Amino acid sequence: MNYLIPMMIGASDMAFPRLNAFGFWLAVPASIILLSSLALGGFDTGWTGYPPLSVRAPIGIQMFFLGVFLAGMGTILSSLNILTTVIRLRATGMTGFRMPIFVWGSLATSFISMTATQLIGLSFQMVMFERLFGMGFFDPAKGGNPILFQHLFWFYSHPAVYVFVLPGLGIISELLPVFARKPLYGYKWVAISSFGIALIGFLVWGHHMFASGMAQYLRVPFMYSTLLVAVPTGVKFFSWLGTLWRGKIIFPVPMLFVLAGIVVFLLGGLTGPPNATVATDLHLTDTYFIVGHFHDTMFGGYIFPFFAAIYYWFPKMTGRRMNETLGKIHFWLMAPAFIVLSTLMMRIGLLGMRRRIADYDPALHVTIDHTVMTVAGFLVGLGILVFIINAFWSMRNGEIASGNVWNSRSPEWQVPSPMPVHNYDKPFEVVGDPYDYGLPGSVYVRFKEEE
Amino acid sequence: MEHGSKSSALNFGMIVLGALAILTAIEFAIAITINIWQVLALIPILKALLVGYYYMHITRVFEEDKDANRESFSYKLATNRIGLWLFLISDSFIFGGLMISRINLLGLTRPDLIQVLGLGVTSVLLISSFFANRAEVSMEYGDRKRFIRSISAAIGLGVLFLIGVLGVEWRLAPFGPETNLAGAVFYVMTGFHAFHVFTGVIFLVIVLRNGLHGLYSAEKHWAVEASAVYWHFVDVVWFFFYPALYLIGTLAQ
């Protein structure tokens, strides 16, 4: 995001370049501390770090908390940087509804991570203080409340999934018109729906706690707010279908990943309501059904669009194209295997397979499913291996592509690749709507001549 | 600035301080007499609005650009203001989380603390905030001497606040962080806040040092403004923490 956004809005750099670098390099100590956790006893709690287990577990969990805390700090700094950049440094004429749609998704994401991340930092710090100084926040013996941790934790960690997904959905909306050669259907509604998802996302955290002893009367409001998320998400799906409808679709590798993303995200989206509804969730909670749902939303909303974005903007970054054949191999290894994997996860979840355990009762009759899932998992991994080889190979030997490879209308494709260090030599002016593909005579950006 | 001359701007700062002092006194009087928590929750909001509007100049964020040139100082200044305020919004979430934890864990009880001492440190921080504003206004009119004096006073009072909370209150409190829930809440809230005060003091000291070296002028003094705004923010946080820890409710056992 920090690379693409200044480029898409016509800025030479982020608003605060030094802050940007600081936030990025915080990732180094954060990763070192996180990895050291593995050597110091690991974190038995999983990523959620629920007390009381996280208070009693070995010192590794302390390192886990610290690492996540530092990483979170980097996120906060970089998100307020993105917000400021988009508010202040847009090109002349680029009004809110003329921004590329990816920028909207990133704005919504930054808004979430700027505010909610503080709460996970706080909850993790409170556990650390409980460990270090014996403060009894989450210790019922001292009058504390372990549920409080879950509230603080999920207040961040539910919006956190939108932090992943919103830029991903933005990429889908960004790339789809390019490859369907049609205007993005309902641009304004798609832009607003990103913020709709972000805002509703703040009010749904309780659905992670239906079965955890949260106050009973909170269940139904959280159920309804969670189901409400489907509305702005539905807007996006409607727009995607409307964009594809009767378009002159072409299928290079990025488009394949975009389409896979849409399909998989649809699977993930449709399996959401059963989890959001209290009655069904009490049966499904902590089963593989949740795991399957989560993988579908993450792969559909984040991983597939992520690969699409890499294939799409790789020429912009390096001046060379990635190999199409290897890209197609990557896609056909990964996408079908992944769909098999996640669907089977949901099947065995419905049959009663619990998550977070290493073994299971053979009487569940899920051994064959598990075997197939393992094979599928390795195929996904193999696909990603192909991708990595492709990326390194293409960086050196890829076909040279300095022009507008995808016939995109975005400003960054109107100048030769790779991008110069400070993006644009000449400032440009936005004179039209961003996604008027196929409309004769429409212009999005016009470069100013020498002044 | 629309308040005419320098002396009237300085006087205006004093009027705001007076209003804040009166509100703080009313707050304390209500707490030791009738103790209605709704009123005690309302007063900090009023104080925060006063400081936010008159000391932190929140309206400056929404000012139109006078200069369209992106490389100009005024354009970058406005960008910096937005960045700072976004940071404050972000930071306020962690304090909001602390308040929510305190409400959840303690409800209408409070830790067993010396209320007069709380009033004392609150006043110290309030006056310090006033001096930070005075330093900024002086710099705006190019009065370097008064700027140096005022910012030194703000730093001194900030350090006094830290001594009051960490040196005196933490020693006198009849409980440790592990004794009971009230202790845990008290130490984590004051600790988080004191850390921010500490960073604010460092920030002010750097600004003072640069001011002594003559780095600021009436036109260009963004660092002075930023440090003052951050300092006021720390003060505003304490507006909420002070009644939450010292005033509201009955004593926790």
Residue A176 has pLDDT above 80, yes or no: yes
A-interface mutation test, from B105, B175, B192, B195, most A Cβ less than 10 A away: B105
Nearest to A80 among B87, B180, B183 (CB): B87
Q: Which residues of A touch B82 (CB under 8 A)?
A: 83-84, 87-88
Closest CA to A49 of A72, A23, A15: A72
How much is the pLDDT for A449?
A: 59
A-interface mutation test, from B101, B170, B195, B237, most A Cβ less than 10 A away: B101
Contact between chains at B93 and A118 (C-beta distance less than 8 A): yes
CB within 8 Å of B5: residues ≥ 6 apart:
none
Closest CA to B236 of B101, B85, B77, B117: B85
Q: Percent of chain A, pLDDT > 70?
A: 99
Contact between chains at B177 and A129 (C-beta distance less than 8 A): yes
Q: Which of A89-93, A210-214, A341-345, B3-7 has the lowest mean pLDDT?
A: B3-7
pLDDT band at A296 (very low <50, low <70, confident <90, very high): very high
More confident residue, A371 or A53: A371
How much is the pLDDT for B22?
A: 93
Query: pLDDT tens digits, residue range A230-279?
Result: 999 999 999 999 999 888 899 999 999 999 999 999 999 999 888 888 88
Residue A6 has pLDDT above 90, yes or no: no
Q: How many beta-carbon contacts under 8 Å exist across A and B?
A: 92
pLDDT band at A289 (very low <50, low <70, confident <90, very high): very high
How much is the pLDDT for B3?
A: 47
Q: Which residues of A touch B199 (CB under 8 A)?
A: none
In the numeric block, which tokens belong to residue B166?
A: 């960490």
Query: pLDDT tens digits, residue range A147-165?
Result: 888 988 898 888 888 888 9
Q: Is A122 on the interface with B (CB under 8 A)?
A: yes
Å between A298 CA and nearest CA of chain B: 26
Length of chain A: 451
Q: What φ, ψ does residue A320 adopt, rounded to 5°?
A: -130, 150
How much is the pLDDT for B4?
A: 59
How much is the pLDDT for B153?
A: 95
Taking CA–CA distances from A115, the nearest residue in chain B reads B90
Calpha distance B154→B128 (Å, rounded): 4
How much is the pLDDT for B253?
A: 63
Calpha distance A366→A102 (Å, rounded): 41
Name the stretches of chain B with pLDDT < 70: 1-4, 66-68, 253
Contact between chains at A119 and B90 (C-beta distance less than 8 A): no
Contact between chains at B97 and A148 (C-beta distance less than 8 A): no
Mean pLDDT, residues A332-355: 92
Average pLDDT value over all residues in chain A: 87
Q: Which of A136-145, A281-290, A372-381, B60-69 has the lowest mean pLDDT?
A: B60-69
In the numeric block, which tokens belong to residue A289?
A: 């059904």
CB contact residues (below 8 A), chain A span 18-57, against chain B:
19
Place of tokens 């009971």: B180
Taking CA–CA distances from B101, the nearest residue in chain A reads A148
Contact between chains at B177 and A133 (C-beta distance less than 8 A): yes
Taking CA–CA distances from B79, the nearest residue in chain A reads A88
Mean pLDDT, residues A311-334: 92
Å between A425 CA and nearest CA of chain B: 15
In the numeric block, which tokens belong to residue A35?
A: 């990895």
Å between B97 CA and nearest CA of chain A: 6
How much is the pLDDT for B2?
A: 47
Contact between chains at A135 and B187 (C-beta distance less than 8 A): yes
Nearest to A137 among B78, B90, B105 (CB): B105
Q: Which residues of B touch A148 (CB under 8 A)?
A: 101, 104-105
Residues from B contacting A (CB-CB < 8 Å) are 70, 75, 78-79, 82-83, 86-87, 89-91, 93-94, 97-98, 100-101, 104-105, 177-178, 180-181, 183-185, 187-188
Q: Which residues of B touch A137 (CB under 8 A)?
A: 101, 105, 181, 184-185, 188
Nearest to A115 among B83, B93, B101 (CB): B93
- N-terminal to C-terminal alpha carbon distance within chain B: 51
b/e map B34-65, b = 16+ CB within 10 Å: eeebeebeebbeebbebbbebbbbbeeeeeee
Contact between chains at B83 and A114 (C-beta distance less than 8 A): no
Mean pLDDT, residues A49-67: 81
Å between B186 CA and nearest CA of chain A: 10
pLDDT band at A379 (very low <50, low <70, confident <90, very high): very high
Closest CA to A336 of A422, A429, A424, A259: A259
Query: pLDDT tens digits, residue range A397-423?
Result: 888 888 888 888 888 888 887 877 777
How much is the pLDDT for A451?
A: 45
How much is the pLDDT for A189?
A: 92
Q: Tell me the ipTM for this assembly.
A: 0.85
b/e map B122-146, b = 16+ CB within 10 Å: bbbbbbbbbbbbbbbbbbbbebbeb
Calpha distance A121→A66 (Å, rounded): 9
Contact between chains at B177 and A135 (C-beta distance less than 8 A): yes
How much is the pLDDT for A240?
A: 94
